[in-house]
Amino acid sequence: MAETDFASAFEGDVPVGTKTPSALRNRVQDWIPATVAFIAVIGVWEGAIRAFDIQAFVLPAPSVIIQRFVETSDVIWSAGLNTLIEAVGGLVLGTVLAVLVAAMTVRWAPVREGLMPFAIAANSVPIIALAPIANGMFSITSPVPKMVVVAIVVFFPVMVNTARGLIEVDSAELELMRSYAATPGEIMWRVRVPHALPYFFSALKVVSVLSIVFAIVAEYFGGPQDVLGQYILTKANLFVYPDAWAGILVASILGVALYALTLLSERLFMPWHVSFRASDAS
């Protein structure tokens, strides 16, 4: 998980040129295959259910899910908001801690040498197994135990990626700064931090989606009822599958929204980056 996307962030050739109207048109064209594929899948899904008379407890038709999505919108969006608060709370908490620890690993080599192997090993612990314990450690009726689970999930990939970005700076850039007699603080802000941003955002793109997933899974282990995990669980137990699917749809929308927000902030914070250059169509 921690390794995701490092390389891809730096791949591609280095084109010379800037954004042009045709680049914008290309961008629209880029979306066409995905949109067509999406509509086709929904169409096949709907058609198959009608053609083979598949029962709703196996798989409800998209039209039925959309109908319940609209009819129950008050309840599911209220649950969605509570889940979102847990996810974003955990995302912020985990990310802030991860960045602080990553910065410390750069400033103090013993922290790096002592912590990194442990961090990488800890990353393989099935973190969701901690959910019931977190419920016991904090008030089960509060969103805090879920935030803690999400924060732990978020922490390791962000910390490992960010630390790598801060450390793996071109040695010539460091010598250049040395020739200016720059202080460690100046090297940190002017070279290491900008260099780490692409690494940081690769990790953030992964964990922004995971935060919703893990908030919902943590909710399955109990706690307040007005959350997506409990809503989906309850509806599934009552065999009201279209309602459960409507809840899943809300979860998906939230996940995509968080991902899109991360992409947007990535562009705001590093407009110079290779992956945004005009001819990059990937």
Partner 1 sequence: MRVVDAKGVGKTFGTGSESVEALRDINLTIDPGEFISLIGPSGCGKSTLLRLVGDLTGPTSGELSINGKPASQARSNRDYGIVFQKATLLDWRTVKKNVELPLEIMDIEDSAAADEMLDLVQLGDFKEHYPWQLSGGMQQRVAIARALTFNPSLLLMDEPFGALDEMTREQMQQEVLRIWDETETTVVFVTHSIPEAVFLSTRIVVMSPRPGQISDVIETGLDHPRDVETRESPEYYRKVTEVREALRRQEGHG
Which residue in 180, 184, 238, 252 binds partner 1 (CB under 8 A)? 180
Among residues 171, 6, 168, the alpha carbon closest in space to that of 102 is found at 168
Question: Of the candidates 37, 39, 41, 176, which one interacts with partner 1 according to CB under 8 A?
Answer: 176
CB of 170 to partner 1, least distance (A): 7
Please state, in angstroms and rounded to a whole number, the distance separating the CA atoms of residues 238 and 196: 48
Return the number of the residue (58 or 181) whose C-beta is nearest partner 1.
181
Helix (DSSP H) and strand (DSSP E) numbers for the chain: 12, 0
The mark string for 41-80 relative to partner 1 (x by CB under 8 A, - otherwise) is: ----------------------------------------
Of 172, 237, 268, 282, the one binding partner 1 (CB under 8 A) is 172
Distance (Å, rounded) from C-alpha 22 to C-alpha 5?
Answer: 28
Residue found under tokens 């040695």: 171
**Contact between 237 and partner 1 (CB under 8 A)?**
no
Whether 107 contacts 184, CB under 8 Å: yes
Q: Distance (Å, rounded) from C-alpha 159 to C-alpha 109?
A: 15
First to last CA, the chain: 21
19, 50, 186, 281: residue in contact with partner 1 (rule CB under 8 A)? 186
Angle among Cα 62, 252, 2 to the nearest 5 degrees reads 140
- For residue 199, give both structure tokens: 């690494």
| Identity of the residue, 65 or 99, whose beta carbon is nearer to partner 1 in the bound complex | 99
The answer to whether residue 158 forms part of the interface with partner 1 (CB under 8 A) is no
Which residue stretches of 52-143 are H helix? Answer: 62-71, 73-107, 109-122, 131-137
By CB under 8 A, is residue 19 in contact with partner 1? no
11 counts as binding partner 1 under rule CB under 8 A:
no
- Residues 164, 168, 170: CA angle, nearest 5 degrees: 160
Counting contacts by CB under 8 A, is residue 99 touching partner 1? no
Examine residue 31 and tell whether it contacts partner 1 (CB under 8 A).
Answer: no
Give φ, ψ of 227 to 5 degrees.
-140, 160
Stretch in the footprint of partner 1 (CB under 8 A) among 57-65, 112-120, 131-139, 165-173: 165-173
5 φ/ψ sector (left φ>0, alpha ψ -120 to 50, else beta): left
- Asked whether position 277 contacts partner 1 by CB under 8 A, the answer is yes
Which one of 7, 28, 118, 179 is in contact with partner 1 (CB under 8 A)? 179
* Residue (132 or 277) nearer to partner 1, CB: 277
**Among the candidate windows 113-121, 156-164, 172-180, 209-217, which touches partner 1 by CB under 8 A?**
172-180
Which positions lie near partner 1, rule CB under 8 A?
Answer: 14, 16-18, 170, 172-173, 175-182, 186, 190-191, 194, 197, 270, 272-274, 277
